[in-house]
């Protein structure tokens, strides 16, 4: 595992974040795709496939693949689960 693929929605969400926060989020996602999940607030989603990463006021929805992770959405915490 080492590949991180972003959907268009995820890229747009990353672009809307403050630059410093986006950099930290990108680094955290690279670590997760490498298999390092220690110290990160990650939970399996209920009722659908995937995982949630909580980082500050933002949430990431991603899915594990054989090569790494697919990042589906990055949004503020309010509306990401809808």
Q: Which of 37, 40, 29 is nearest to 70 (CA)?
A: 29
pLDDT at 8: 96
**Number of residues written out for the chain:** 82
| pLDDT tens per residue, range 54-70 | 988 899 999 999 889 99
Q: Which of 77, 64, 74 is nearest to 22 (CA)?
A: 74
* 50 Ramachandran zone, left/alpha/beta (phi>0; psi -120 to 50): left
Where do the structural domains in the chain lie, given as residue ranges? 3-76
- CATH 3.30.2310.20 fits domain 3-76: yes
Confidence at 1, pLDDT banded by 50, 70, 90: low
pTM, two decimals, is 0.88
């Amino acid at each position: 595992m080492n590949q991180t693929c972003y959907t268009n929605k995820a890229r747009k969400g990353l672009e809307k974040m403050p630059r410093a926060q986006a950099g930290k989020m990108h680094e955290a996602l690279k670590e997760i795709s490498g298999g390092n999940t220690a110290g990160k607030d990650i939970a399996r989603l209920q009722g659908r496939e995937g995982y949630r990463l909580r980082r500050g006021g933002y949430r990431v929805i991603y899915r594990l693949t054989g090569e790494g992770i697919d990042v589906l959405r990055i949004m503020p915490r309010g509306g990401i689960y809808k």
